[in-house]
Amino acid sequence: MINQIYIENEIKYHPRVQSILKKFKRKTPIYIDKYASVFNKKNQNFRIQKKYPSLILAKKKSGYVLKTPPDFGIGNSNNFYFSHMYNCLYDCEYCFLQGMYSSADYILFVNYEDFEDGIKEKINFLKNEKVTFFSGYDCDSLAFEKISGFVSYFLPFFKKFSNVEIELRTKSTQMDPLLKLEPVSNCIVAFSLLPTEIADKTDHKAPTIKKRINKISELASMGWKIGLRFDPLIHGENWKNIYKELFADVFKNIDKKAIHSITLGPLRFPKAMFKKILGMNPNSKLLSDVLVLRGNKISYTNEIELEMQSFCIDLLKKYSPETLFFSCKGNF
Ligand code: SF4
């Protein structure tokens, strides 16, 4: 449910804006000069806004494509991300977006063509190299698809460049643009997964794990490449059994040939954001758990982190070759 729609004057006649407005016929948009005047306002309450978020249609002016942190990748040495949207329909307790932005409103940058130019520039510069582009860092890649048309726009674009991969990171089960297409061989549809017992408590508003696994199974059987993202790994009572059950469930339902990569990432928060996130979720069991300060991050102790990682890797080895495993420690 969208509360209000704001539109930057500069893009008020942009065809993508016009087509989005047709989906909100009852809304009267408010025109603004710069998205920052709404999004960066002081004294906003992220938690209240999360219940009634507004949609801001804006034009991104720079920084279309950025390098990922060094530890972030799925096999290629050149890794970039791009964000056509800030904020997410879902509300995961561990989501760092709550600490990153003061507003929970959704910003959609409608100038996809400029992102495309930025991506092309990188591809041309690295033309003999393998490159992965990641979408879904500042938002979920597919959850807003019915409004944004993001995937429908970008898949045909990426299809033209066989030396690059595009990862769409999601928890959504809205796969319409993918179900309508032949699988795109350089696209990885990457799903974040947790044991049901944890996800039911942390992944607010997101599809259940069962629904996610069903959708992965469907896409895999159609021939889409699948990424499994066990990130973050979450500790707690009975964690070994519930991760064991999760992996068994995933691999019972998904054709192994479809799996492109599996990443494991520890629960981690940038130190500067953690206090803010905890302040917004004072009753969160996850955030008040055994987390410690390590360098500039808040995370489990090194012992817990290593134990979880090696336990999960040992289990995953039963189902999948280790060459598909990647660690995903980067925090953007
Ligand atoms: S799906 Fe991802 S981006 Fe959306 S709230 Fe959850 S962690 Fe954040």
pLDDT in tens, 232-264: 999 998 999 999 999 999 999 999 999 999 999
Q: Environment class of residue 282 by beta-carbon count within 10 Å: exposed (0-12), middle (13-18) or buried (19+)? A: exposed
Ligand 1: residue whose CA is nearest its atom 6: 92
Q: Please state, as a whole number, how many other Cβ atoms lie within 10 Å of the Cβ of residue 28.
A: 7
Q: Phi/psi of residue 89, each to 5°? A: -70, -30
pLDDT at 44 over 90: no
Ligand 1: residue whose CA is nearest its atom 3: 139
Given phi > 0 = left and psi -120 to 50 = alpha, else beta, which region is 48? alpha
171 CA distance to ligand 1 centroid (A)? 8
More confident residue, 70 or 60: 60
- What pLDDT sits at residue 126? 95
Q: Which alpha helices (DSSP H) does 223-325 contain, by range?
A: 239-253, 271-280, 302-317
Is 242 strand, coil or helix? helix
Q: Environment class of residue 34 by beta-carbon count within 10 Å: exposed (0-12), middle (13-18) or buried (19+)? A: middle
**Ligand 1 mutation target, pool 49, 89, 140, 174, most atoms within 8 A of CB:** 140
90 CA distance to ligand 1 centroid (A)? 6
pLDDT at 305 over 50: yes
| CA–CA dist 311, 291 (Å, integer) | 19
When the pLDDT of each residue in the chain is averaged and rounded to a whole number, the result is: 94
Count of positions (residues) in the chain? 332
Domains plus CATH for the chain? 58-104+111-327 (3.80.30.30)
Q: What residues line ligand 1, using a CB cutoff of 6 Å?
A: 88, 90-92, 95, 97, 139-140, 171, 206
Cβ neighbors of 46 (< 8 A, separation 6 or more) are: 98, 101, 102, 103, 104, 280
More confident residue, 328 or 237: 237
- What pLDDT sits at residue 235? 94
- What pLDDT sits at residue 330? 53
pLDDT at 331 over 80: no
Q: At what angle do helices 112-125 and 150-159 cross, to 10 degrees?
A: 30
Is 83 strand, coil or helix? coil
CB contact at 8 A, 101 and 8 = no
Percent of residues, the chain, with pLDDT higher than 90? 84
- What pLDDT sits at residue 283? 87
- What pLDDT sits at residue 300? 95
Question: How many Å from the N-terminal Cα to the C-terminal Cα in the chain?
Answer: 29
- Beta-bridge partner residues of 81: 66, 134
pLDDT in tens, 168-222: 999 999 999 999 889 999 999 999 999 999 999 999 999 999 999 999 999 999 9
pLDDT in tens, 257-284: 999 999 999 999 999 899 889 988 888 8
Confidence of residue 329 (pLDDT cuts 50, 70, 90): low
